[in-house]
Amino acid sequence: MRPDTPADHITEAERLLRTAGRYPEDREPLLLRAAAHLELAGERERATTLYDDLLAAPSPAAPLLIRSLKAANLWEYGHEAEARAIIEGVRRARPADPAPWAIAAETLEAHDEPAEAEATFTEAARLLVAPGDEVPYAVQSLLAGRHRVRRAMGLPHDDLDTLADRLHSGNVPLDELHDPKRLWSLGSSDPAELRAEITRLRSELGSYRTALSRPFPVAVLHWPERELDELLAAYPELEAEYPTYRAHLTDIEASLRELAQSGTPNLGIVPATVPSYEAFAASESSTPANPDLLPQYATTLAARGRAAAWPPARTAPCWCGSGRAYGECHGSARE
């Protein structure tokens, strides 16, 4: 069950903190996720403490991401000056990762600082968009955010706005999605206007499947061929789930495409191993032959930061391990 109330979020945060104690090698992604739940529960000071603990570690893997998340959280409970100072530090550091830029810009946007938000989005885009190169999905989200802010400010289109329009794959054009006049539609008493606005909002939500601020993917298991052979030899009850290795690979790609088309955000693939799965089953006081454990195992691996984002770039190696480019392998049928 997904957390819905503050108490649920606190319970989930405590579970993640306990998990971090059992898996110190995955401490950072687990504590980041726990901090997110604490924020949703309104426990913002506790969340800040977790961010500080992560930053105090000897070598945090993503210090600028943590700083930007801390700034966003601080601003929400009255520490605007400190949040601004942190955001300025993140901008000066010019991270190569889109996530800190996006969180910093969206924090400024959320607190009615459109000019600073636009400047932050623009700095990121100019740094991370290389002419002629494929634009990663995370950077496409930055371009869309920049387009949104500039549209609200009434600024004319420039080359990056044109690129954002070209990369946008939703049914509703970005100019329409980001039209400031849409705010008036939400107060309309005309059913047709309201239905049209609901359609636009659905399209927008489906388009902004960003894994930037808190990358906690909906994950699908990938059993490498040797691991799958070992799994089925030990637990033949699972053959109904995995009739052949080829079918397993086909099902992974098909499932992820279906989830993407439904608007599910933050999709990922996690590699599975038999020893890890058996340990997970033991921790759940269950048998590995129980197919109901498989999605729980995938979720646990994703929470520990083991998921790779899907889809990869068309020129990147395919997730299946074939050694071929994704666009020439399982991505060959993508539109």
HSE, side-chain direction, 13 A CA sphere, residue 51: 24
How many whole angstroms separate alpha carbon 316 and alpha carbon 185?
42
More confident residue, 171 or 239: 239
**pLDDT per position as a tens digit, 294-320:** 988 898 888 777 888 898 888 889 999
The residues near 176 (Cβ < 8 Å, ≥ 6 apart) are 182, 200
SS3 308: strand
More confident residue, 152 or 287: 287
**pLDDT per position as a tens digit, 266-282:** 789 999 999 889 988 88
Confidence of residue 263 (pLDDT cuts 50, 70, 90): confident
Residue written as tokens 């500080």? 52
Determine the number of helices (DSSP H) and then strands (DSSP E) in the chain: 16, 3
Tell me the mean pLDDT in the region 146-168: 91
pTM beyond 0.75: no
What's the confidence (pLDDT) of residue 209?
39
Mean pLDDT of the chain: 86
Residue type, 126: R
pLDDT at residue 113 above 50?
yes
Confidence of residue 186 (pLDDT cuts 50, 70, 90): low
